């Protein structure tokens, strides 16, 4: 069963119940219209971003239902004619532009319309058609064009231009897996402002791979016959309640948001304890991500995709389907976004929310008495899935009854492919099918976690487990203990994971003590992780400097919202976290932000072709002394066919 969020309003500002409620479709259209009229925008402009300008924290914290809600929109405009970028703020209450500024030397993210126009431009190019004919391809309409940001390499003919690198694949029909037949050695550099081919880089003809690599249901000759139905039912409905974008579930309180760059955003996360909601995080979202590839040859060294900052992963979010993407009693939130022309569009079912059984919550059997106590765990799932070219990324926030928060990323889709000469064994990739090479690569995600552990005055501690040297204090050489070290400034708080030391980080509030007299806290528990293999001198390391550290900590500062800075597209580097932290500000007992970098290392396998089974990675936030005792003693026993789950 599916339940929908409240439908979008028909007039700007109508029925907006909270200062953090995302812009409605009407508000998006109104903001674009006000800006277009009052700034007399020309015909060749693109609206890269139209989002809610989030109010200051104090305004949100002091808000009570019934208070007036000022509504402002933040916009980013690309003037293709002037080849210039502008930022604007529009007051929807006053119906006027309140700020307008030129941002020199930057490129906004590539917009969906540009992907479509770029493909048509490449297909229509006579030079490109001639290059295809060299390869025996006579119909350019069969070519699938994937546009990648050009990155930054200091090439003179690329300076100051808005560019994309078009990589090409051959399809034989509308449902054909184009990635099975890369047109290897041919890439097209396109000026997106002028929408014309700047040059064609032809590295030589490589034979097309022979196998189709199709995976859609229509191509599967026989399906498994031994799967029986599996039904998930909640006869009395789900345990959560929803009011607009506000969610309550099992003592958790949170708000759902969405932006075209970040995708799913969570606000105001707190846990109800002893009659009050105790804050944990003010805001949590993907900050940016990058996928660096390890192949140095031809144009493959330029494959470094910033899927949030360059492409807007939120705007590429899927409409989720009951029974396929989500199973059970589902509540959906739609996402209202803008086109490059300033029109509003809606992604139905962009965010899925449901409950899941998660096995045993806790259990003990007293073998002396035979008495058994067991409780089943349940978690709330808030998720979205985006398709960025060949890859799918699922972002799943899990909330557990014991106060744990987990972020799990599910990676699937189609691996990026390249052609290879018959008989060649790839050094920087894996042969996944005849003539088909899948390059080694990594996925780096950075999550911005605006912590608020029982208030704004927080300090981060790094905890390592230390072995006590043998001696008078350790006569049997068995002792070890957890050692906590405060990270008091931005530079000292740039850290990497170390599983050999059991390393984790605790966000502590020194002003709030639990019943044992200790500061309350939450710990960030790393999961699978890795560091980049690119050399520090590589362009991608300058542009995505956040990859070098797994943990960064900054004092909360408005405007510091992305690990790569506001405009990573074709940026030469140094922006974002390296720039934010260069002054080594204090992060001791203050309103602070954790930035966690998660790296997934992918050496492709033949089993990843033609479509990859889901891989998983993530991290957790777990209470450490946040509660006085186990917070889930009050979870009731479950019923089963012989009675309750205890004896």
- Evaluate whether 567 touches 106 at the Cβ level (below 8 Å): yes
Residues 6+ apart with CB under 8 A from 365: 371, 372
Active-site residue, from 176, 307, 334, 454: 307
Dihedral angle of Cα 544, 550, 555, 560, to the nearest 10 degrees:
20
- Evaluate whether 466 touches 307 at the Cβ level (below 8 Å): no
Residue 456 CA to residue 282 CA, distance in Å, equals: 9
- Evaluate whether 76 touches 90 at the Cβ level (below 8 Å): no
Residues 6+ apart with CB under 8 A from 312: 109, 111, 260, 261
Residue 318 CA to residue 329 CA, distance in Å, equals: 19
CA-based max dimension of the chain: 85
Instruction: Give me the half-sphere count of Cα atoms (radius 13 Å) on the Cβ side of residue 538.
Output: 20
- Evaluate whether 465 touches 501 at the Cβ level (below 8 Å): yes
Under DSSP, the state recorded for 469 is P
Residue 400 CA to residue 484 CA, distance in Å, equals: 26
Please indicate whether residue 391 is annotated as part of the active site.
yes
Please indicate whether residue 307 is annotated as part of the active site.
yes
Residue 36 CA to residue 24 CA, distance in Å, equals: 18
- Evaluate whether 150 touches 164 at the Cβ level (below 8 Å): yes
Cβ count near 48 (within 10 Å): 25
**Three-state DSSP state, 208:** coil
Dihedral angle of Cα 318, 322, 323, 329, to the nearest 10 degrees:
130
Residues listed for the chain: 647
Per DSSP (E only), the strands in 420-567 are 429-433, 436-439, 441-451, 459-467, 480-487, 504-513, 519-526, 551-555
Active-site residue, from 293, 332, 391, 461: 391
First to last CA, the chain: 35
Residue 460 CA to residue 398 CA, distance in Å, equals: 23
Q: Which long-range contacts (CB under 8 A, 24 or more apart) does 396-399 make?
A: 396/618, 397/264, 397/266, 397/284, 399/249, 399/250, 399/252, 399/254
Residue 319 CA to residue 332 CA, distance in Å, equals: 10
- Evaluate whether 147 touches 166 at the Cβ level (below 8 Å): yes
Phi, psi of 640 (to 5 degrees): -140, -175
Under DSSP, the state recorded for 322 is B
Catalytic residues: 307, 391
């Amino acid at each position: 069963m599916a339940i929908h969020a409240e439908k979008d309003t028909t007039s700007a500002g109508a029925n907006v119940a909270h200062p953090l409620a995302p812009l409605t479709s009407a508000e998006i259209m109104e903001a674009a219209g006000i800006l277009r009229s009052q700034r007399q925008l020309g015909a060749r402009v693109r609206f890269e971003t139209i989002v809610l300008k989030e109010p200051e924290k104090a305004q949100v914290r002091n808000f009570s239902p019934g208070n007036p809600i000022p509504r402002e929109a933040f916009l980013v405009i690309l003037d293709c004619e002037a080849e210039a970028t502008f930022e604007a703020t529009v007051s929807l209450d006053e119906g006027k532009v309140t700020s307008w500024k030129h941002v020199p030397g930057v490129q906004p993210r590539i917009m969906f319309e540009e992907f479509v126009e770029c493909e048509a431009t490449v297909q229509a190019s006579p030079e490109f058609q001639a290059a295809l004919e060299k390869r025996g391809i006579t119909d350019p309409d069969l070519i699938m064009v994937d546009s990648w940001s050009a990155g930054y390499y200091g090439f003179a003919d690329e300076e100051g231009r808005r560019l994309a690198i078009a990589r090409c694949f051959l399809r034989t029909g509308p449902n054909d897996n184009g990635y099975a037949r890369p047109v290897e050695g041919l890439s097209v550099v396109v000026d997106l402002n002028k929408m014309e081919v700047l040059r064609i880089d032809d590295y030589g003809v490589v034979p097309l791979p022979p196998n189709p690599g199709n995976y859609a249901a229509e191509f599967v000759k026989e399906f498994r016959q031994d799967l029986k139905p599996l039904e998930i039912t909640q006869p009395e409905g789900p345990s959560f309640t929803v009011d607009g974008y506000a969610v309550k579930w099992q003592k958790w309180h949170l708000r759902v948001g969405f932006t075209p760059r970040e995708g799913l955003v969570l606000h105001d996360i707190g846990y109800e304890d002893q009659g009050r909601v105790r804050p944990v995080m003010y805001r949590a979202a993907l900050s940016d991500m990058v996928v660096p590839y390890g192949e140095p040859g031809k144009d493959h060294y330029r494959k470094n995709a910033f899927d949030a900052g360059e492409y807007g992963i939120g705007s590429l979010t899927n409409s989720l389907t009951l029974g396929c993407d989500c199973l059970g009693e589902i509540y959906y939130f739609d996402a209202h976004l803008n086109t490059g022309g300033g029109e509003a569009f809606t992604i139905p079912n962009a965010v899925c929310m449901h409950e899941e059984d998660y096995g045993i919550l806790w259990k003990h059997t007293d073998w002396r008495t035979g008495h058994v106590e067991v409780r089943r765990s349940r978690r709330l799932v808030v998720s979205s899935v985006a398709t960025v070219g060949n890859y799918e990324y699922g972002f799943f926030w899990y909330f557990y009854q014991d106060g744990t928060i987990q972020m799990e990323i599910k990676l699937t889709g189609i691996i990026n492919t390249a052609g290879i000469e018959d008989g060649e064994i790839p050094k920087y990739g894996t042969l996944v099918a005849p003539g088909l090479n899948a390059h080694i690569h990594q996925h780096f995600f950075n999550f911005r976690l605006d912590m608020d552990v029982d208030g704004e005055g927080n300090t981060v501690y790094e905890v390592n487990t230390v072995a006590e040297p043998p001696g008078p204090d350790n006569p049997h050489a068995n002792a070890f203990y957890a050692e906590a070290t405060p990270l008091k400034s931005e530079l000292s708080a740039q850290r990497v994971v170390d599983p050999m030391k059991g390393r984790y980080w605790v966000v502590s509030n020194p002003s709030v003590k639990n019943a044992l007299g200790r500061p309350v806290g939450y710990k960030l528990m790393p999961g699978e992780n890795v560091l980049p293999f690119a050399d520090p001198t590589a362009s991608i390391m300058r542009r995505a400097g956040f990859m070098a550290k797994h943990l960064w900590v900054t004092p909360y500062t408005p405007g510091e919202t992305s690990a790569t800075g506001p405009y990573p597209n074709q940026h030469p580097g140094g922006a974002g976290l390296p720039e934010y932290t260069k002054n080594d500000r204090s992060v001791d007992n203050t309103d602070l932000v954790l930035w966690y970098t998660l790296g997934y290392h992918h050496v492709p396998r033949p089993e990843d072709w033609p479509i990859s089974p889901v891989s998983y990675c993530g991290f957790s936030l777990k209470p450490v002394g946040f509660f006085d005792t186990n917070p889930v003693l009050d979870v009731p026993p479950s019923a089963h066919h012989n009675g309750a789950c205890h004896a």
